[in-house]
Amino acid sequence: MSKVENAALVCSRCGEETPHDVAYAGRLLVKITCTRCGKTFERDLRAEYLTDLRRRVATKPKRMLKRFCRHPLGFVSSLPKTVAAKPRDLLTDVSLVWGTVRPRPHRRSTRMCDRGQQPGKR
């Protein structure tokens, strides 16, 4: 599950302690972004993520059983919501891990500019 947390860190660009967004995919730290200047530190974690994902999938039944034993009613009542959310969480993780390495370039259409119109407006 992707998670973004906030932390006060010293920014290499700002030179002082500023709030940062810290993004995790599963249990792995993927990127850190300064909320003041936008400086981002990203890591290529594709291989590590796949290893972590395999381990998480393999241990999921055991973790679910532990949770069921601790709180049976809470587990059963939350099951429909958590089962429905897992594919979305997985897609968010994958897009975070693969998206940081290969960003999709934004391509502006020059056709509109050639006609004297601004891009994005028709």
Q: CA 5, CA 20: separation in Å to the nearest integer?
A: 8
List CB contacts of 109: < 8 A, sequence separation 6 or more: 119
Split at pLDDT 50, 70, 90, the class of 122 is: very low
Q: How far is CA 5 from the centre of its chain?
A: 11
Dihedral angle computed from the Cα positions of residues 3, 105, 53 and 89, in that order, rounded to the nearest 10 degrees: 40
Question: Is the Cβ–Cβ distance between 31 and 101 less than 8 Å?
Answer: no
Q: Is the pLDDT of residue 107 over 70?
A: no
SS3 content of the chain, % helix, strand, coil (to 5): 50, 25, 30
Q: Is the pLDDT of residue 62 over 60?
A: yes
Split at pLDDT 50, 70, 90, the class of 2 is: low
- From the list 47, 39, 45, the residue with the least C-alpha distance to 97 is 45
pLDDT of residue 42: 85
Q: How many residues does the chain have?
A: 122
Q: Is the pTM of this model over 0.85?
A: no
